[in-house]
Structure 1
């Protein structure tokens, strides 16, 4: 093979971020299909079409890929909510809260099976960085809204916890509720939460 032919060949390896994404996508699909405990690292590398050494280049254990999937989910979830809140007028904190309620429900329902697998079916510490990121998002909104006299929240940490976990509990109950649906829950939560913020 001439030198010119060698330099025009396609690279044999994919970029690191592509390879990482393929490993995570393979793990996610297998965890959803077989469950976390029943999935092996060998299953993941086979589905991703890579060598085991490639997996261990990115992750040292199966729980590491699970944590990476949790982070990816929370990035997606929080970015979706941030985009909706950032589209609101900067000082319209009530509309931002409304968007938080509605988009939280939509996002949660959209990927509920994935969320439940990542955060409910597999053990994780109750005090974890993923939940803290979501709580911080709503707590910041409550603090800024209080500073701008949109509402008066004296306990933003407690109130953000009630709002966040209230939303999660309501979505978890969607299949059993006779009072609300996925389409009506967001606006109903907003109405309930604004009563809490008076």
Structure 2
């Protein structure tokens, strides 16, 4: 015979998973990035972004006042990721191999831009590098300038104005890469080698072994 009992087994309490703020912020930007690439900025609503990120709408407004503010944060993240790619690539060279670092910087600048130009065009739609106070451009320039200054210091090349040479190389590489993006028929490896040779000639390195 079975007896009823008033005792009930209680289920263990649910533990609410609270994600760190930086994780939620990253997920929001990643969700927006996917939607912007697929639909465009104007066609994407904030409702769609929070649905994609699986967060409440209030979470969006906790971090951003508008899509424009979101785009500003995405622009900073894009630059950080771009710089990280360059740092990782130049970091594969020996600490005193400034010629190798310059070659790696030029190559990876082209590769990274080609790989991410669609996102680049989205985040820089209303904030192009022609902005003379653009900190993103300056951060990349400083990275290149340090390589050129170090190379001059140890006699790899002789550059009187590292900042000016950095500006010319940066602008030239960026502009030339737009050409390969516009043409699907360009041989990327040959293109990169040709750009690299021209950049090296600018710093006085006339012979380059691939």
Structure 2 unaligned residues grouped into runs of 5+: 1-7, 205-210
Q: Residue 2 and residue 157 in structure 1: after superposition, are their counterparts in 2 closer, same or farther (change >3 A)?
A: farther
What's the RMSD between the two structures over aligned residues? 2.2
Report the alpha carbon displacement of residue 177 of structure 1 after superposing the two structures with TM: 8.3
Which residue, out of 53, 56, 76, partners 1:51? Answer: 56
Cross-structure match for 1:124 = 127
**C-alpha separation between the residues in 2 aligned to 1:32 and 1:177?**
19
**Over residues 101-138 of structure 1, what are the superposed CA-to-partner deviations in whole Å (9 max), with x where a residue is unaligned?**
1111111112221122222xx11151311111111111
* 3-state SS in 2 of match to 1:164: helix
Structure 1 runs, 4 residues or longer, greater than 4 Å off: 1-4
Mapping 1:1-198, distance limit 5 Å = 5-6=12-13, 9-119=14-124, 122-124=125-127, 126-127=131-132, 128-174=134-180, 175-176=182-183, 180-198=186-204
Contact kept in structure 2, 1:101 and 1:187, CA below 8 Å: no
Q: TM-score, normalised by structure 2?
A: 0.82
Q: TM-score, normalised by structure 1?
A: 0.87
- Aligned pair count reads 193
> Which structure has the higher relative contact order (CA within 8 Å, separation 6+)?
1
**Over residues 37-69 of structure 1, what are the superposed CA-to-partner deviations in whole Å (9 max), with x where a residue is unaligned?**
333323322322222210011112212211221
